[in-house]
A and B are shown apart, each in its own frame.
Chain A
């Protein structure tokens, strides 16, 4: 990514706040922070010589304030469901009978299998992954077209784990004000104890996160036992270590820096969004000009206009990325809606209508300013197209999954030699035939040939025959390649190529799998 371009959009807390307007919260701010520091800092004058600007800036620590409301409740629900699935899914059992693992979701790397409940995927069926990725991308695009970066605000792992880590921090270090105050104090025993305790819990969660990850790659209960008794493979410990570190660093320390500086999605989504996408929007048509309750009353007395925003900065204080949404749409905003909850609580308290901040569009703000009704245009060409692609790919995947066979055959003609002239003048072609047995029982398959009457069919490594056709044994959940020779005594002319069909059917009966090839002559 281009840091220079980023800086055009990157904003920090308080950037959009209008200076010089005192409010209850900004007074609190000034009380706990030294002059010049904090979110409500006075903007500096433009530098005459940009060369004198510092090249690097320290991260401004964000102390998100606790908030309650609709969107906070949704975020809690999403957090519980997604983390619940992540941490406990490996322990869900699924009986597949003998010769197969009984773990519902398992990525079996050494065995080259992926198990997902009733679905078993072989490596050559990787196109299901392609389908899943198309659906995932289109779902992301659709979410973005409907409501901006809601993925970032509710579902992104970075957001979910950061949310969890922030709530741990709040539990131990106290809410915003308490935490801010304590961070200004010297290192007392209590402060050290709280800090140590916080990092301990963070590391515990991070460690559990790494631990849950490796359980998707082996039988979970066995691996847990082996990990505890130090008998697990080294790779398991290494991956737990890596993921413990990344979780701790990204959710504990990096947080919004990941969203603002590291993640490519904000850049991609900026290219995918349009003017009708519902974004978390400060309705400045209603909010401006900002004025405290007292000042608004005074302004009204003089017949001057005053907006609904009382400049209490609650929207800024609850923001997990330190954005002031009143500055307009910007890169730091992850569309989580916590500022909506915070503003609604204030508006309810002072008896003004809620949703001064809401999921809305700039178009609607301008329409309201012109006295026209708002429009919500969710059924657009792009949203319909995304939905159609999702349904289409989903339908194709469901159909192929439902109708796919649990056996298969493929054939490759020998490349050298193309044909063999036998001593009596007969012609022979060699083929490598691979038979797939996706069932969990050993099977014998009957190989038949059509397309070349009177040809002799021989299988190297055949187990006897059934009704004159060779039988081929294939182990449970395995594939086997055998050499097949087709010989004919027919006189064939120059450049002969005869279409052949090999059919492979289970000896116990069942539908045959078919593979086509050719018999080649001189």
Chain B
């Protein structure tokens, strides 16, 4: 109804002088409470400085009257979490490993707790799902260098392998070639013989009988006359389809020449007993546990 070129308010505050298609921009003042809100935010900021850590000083900073710290806030959050978990942690501490696995409630809790601990501590070497890598055992498989029962796994996690821990697993594969115990040709022959034990192909013209002789003289002490391994010293069973370092000829030659032997740290001092229990159950229930 009104002429768009002349708005009644134009008389009141004037316009900014801007115009689009006959529409003028009024120069209406902002509401005053808007200004108050602006002052209120400034006062709020001052209050914030007083209450919380705010200003850097030469060698420290203002602490604020609440004495609030991000670090102590995290600590209290963690303490609250621990308190919430406490009843289940106590049950886990009291129960035997076998009881934990046979009680669904405890098993679910242990697997959840163990899963986090595994991701934090074990996954860098063994992989996020325990799938392993060259030299780092696949924990899902059903062959164990040092035993796959709950007790065996707990012992290995607590004390480690070649970790320097007195109760840790010991035992090492000698470097037969490097240390001059076997000649080069003998190393190749025995490597071919080892492949034949698990049904793998051998290089043409290999004298397997000679290989068997070399094996009996040098390897059987640890790996056993049937090459079935020896868990007390961590000597692997050489007749299965599972290979820690790989089953190709060169890898086996390398193993015999230089000797293999990885290190598993002892977690006993680093993780608490309940966490190690949970880890044991978690690893055992990957599917390969004995």
Say yes or no: A420-B287 contact (C-beta < 8 A), given A8-B25, A257-B31, A460-B107. Answer: yes
The interface bits of chain A over 41-68 (1 if a CB of B lies within 8 angstroms of the residue's CB, else 0) are 0011111001001111111000000000
In the complex, are the beta carbons of A43 and B8 less than 8 A apart? Answer: yes
In the complex, are the beta carbons of A54 and B9 less than 8 A apart? Answer: no
In the complex, are the beta carbons of B32 and A46 less than 8 A apart? Answer: no
In the complex, are the beta carbons of A430 and B143 less than 8 A apart? Answer: no
Interface 9-residue window, one of B128-136, B159-167, B251-259: B128-136
In the complex, are the beta carbons of B107 and A485 less than 8 A apart? Answer: no
In the complex, are the beta carbons of B287 and A430 less than 8 A apart? Answer: yes
Say yes or no: A423-B141 contact (C-beta < 8 A), given A416-B129, A417-B131. Answer: yes
Interface 9-residue window, one of B11-19, B68-76, B203-211: B11-19
The interface bits of chain A over 1-32 (1 if a CB of B lies within 8 angstroms of the residue's CB, else 0) are 00111111011000110000000000000000
Q: Tell me, yes or no, whether A473 is within 8 Å of chain B by CB.
A: yes
In the complex, are the beta carbons of B16 and A57 less than 8 A apart? Answer: no
Interface core residue of A44, A420, A481 (most chain B CB under 10 Å)? A420
Residues of B within 8 A of A257 (CB): 31, 33
Bound form: Cα–Cα A362–B1 in Å: 8
Q: Tell me, yes or no, whether B173 is within 8 Å of chain A by CB.
A: no
In the complex, are the beta carbons of B140 and A11 less than 8 A apart? Answer: no
Residues of B within 8 A of A414 (CB): 129
In the complex, are the beta carbons of A328 and B31 less than 8 A apart? Answer: no
- Nearest to A326 among chain B residues (CB) is B1
The interface bits of chain A over 410-428 (1 if a CB of B lies within 8 angstroms of the residue's CB, else 0) are 0000111110111111001
In the complex, are the beta carbons of A46 and B111 less than 8 A apart? Answer: no
Residues of A within 8 A of B132 (CB): 417
- Please pick, from B16, B35, B241, the residue contacting A422 in the complex, using a CB distance under 8 A: B241
Residues of B within 8 A of A5 (CB): 25
In the complex, are the beta carbons of B9 and A424 less than 8 A apart? Answer: no
Say yes or no: A416-B30 contact (C-beta < 8 A), given A8-B25, A424-B241. Answer: no
Residues of B within 8 A of A420 (CB): 131, 138, 140-141, 287-288
Residues of B within 8 A of A480 (CB): 108
Number of interface residues of A (CB under 8 A): 54
Residues of B within 8 A of A284 (CB): 1
Residues of A within 8 A of B143 (CB): 423
In the complex, are the beta carbons of B104 and A473 less than 8 A apart? Answer: yes
Q: Tell me, yes or no, whether B2 is within 8 Å of chain A by CB.
A: yes
The B185-203 residues at the A interface (CB cut-off 8 A) are none
Say yes or no: A327-B27 contact (C-beta < 8 A), given A43-B12, A59-B33. Answer: no
In the complex, are the beta carbons of A50 and B104 less than 8 A apart? Answer: no
Interface core residue of A43, A261, A421, A425 (most chain B CB under 10 Å)? A421
Q: Tell me, yes or no, whether A451 is within 8 Å of chain B by CB.
A: no
Residues of B within 8 A of A430 (CB): 129, 140, 286-287
Interface core residue of A45, A288, A460, A485 (most chain B CB under 10 Å)? A460
Bound form: Cα–Cα A53–B10 in Å: 13
Residues of A within 8 A of B16 (CB): 4, 50
Residues of B within 8 A of A7 (CB): 25-28
- Nearest to A329 among chain B residues (CB) is B1
Residues of A within 8 A of B28 (CB): 6-7, 10, 57
Q: Tell me, yes or no, whether A108 is within 8 Å of chain B by CB.
A: no
In the complex, are the beta carbons of B10 and A46 less than 8 A apart? Answer: yes
In the complex, are the beta carbons of A423 and B140 less than 8 A apart? Answer: no
Say yes or no: A44-B1 contact (C-beta < 8 A), given A50-B17, A420-B138. Answer: no
Q: Tell me, yes or no, whether B285 is within 8 Å of chain A by CB.
A: yes
In the complex, are the beta carbons of A8 and B287 less than 8 A apart? Answer: no
Interface core residue of B8, B11, B33 (most chain A CB under 10 Å)? B8
Q: Tell me, yes or no, whether B29 is within 8 Å of chain A by CB.
A: yes
In the complex, are the beta carbons of B29 and A54 less than 8 A apart? Answer: yes
Q: Tell me, yes or no, whether A120 is within 8 Å of chain B by CB.
A: no
In the complex, are the beta carbons of B287 and A47 less than 8 A apart? Answer: no
Residues of B within 8 A of A428 (CB): 140, 287
Bound form: Cα–Cα A430–B128 in Å: 13
Residues of B within 8 A of A264 (CB): none
In the complex, are the beta carbons of B242 and A421 less than 8 A apart? Answer: yes
Q: Tell me, yes or no, whether B142 is within 8 Å of chain A by CB.
A: yes
Q: How far is the CB of A313 from chain B (nearest CB, A)?
A: 15
- Nearest to B127 among chain A residues (CB) is A416
- Nearest to A285 among chain B residues (CB) is B1
Residues of B within 8 A of A35 (CB): none
Bound form: Cα–Cα A473–B104 in Å: 8
Say yes or no: A56-B240 contact (C-beta < 8 A), given A46-B11, A416-B131, A423-B141. Answer: no
In the complex, are the beta carbons of A483 and B287 less than 8 A apart? Answer: yes
- Nearest to B128 among chain A residues (CB) is A416
In the complex, are the beta carbons of B140 and A483 less than 8 A apart? Answer: no
What are 26 pairs between A and B in contact, CB < 8 Å?
Answer: A3-B30, A7-B27, A8-B25, A15-B8, A44-B12, A45-B11, A47-B13, A53-B14, A53-B29, A55-B29, A56-B32, A58-B31, A59-B33, A261-B31, A328-B2, A416-B130, A416-B131, A417-B132, A417-B138, A421-B141, A423-B240, A425-B241, A430-B140, A430-B287, A460-B285, A461-B108
Give the 3 A-B residue pairs with the shortest CB-CB distance, closest first. A417-B131, A7-B28, A416-B129
Known: A15-B9, A50-B17, A284-B1. 19 other contacts (CB 8 A): A8-B25, A16-B8, A43-B12, A56-B35, A58-B31, A257-B33, A261-B31, A362-B1, A416-B127, A416-B129, A417-B140, A420-B131, A420-B140, A421-B141, A460-B111, A460-B285, A461-B107, A461-B111, A483-B111
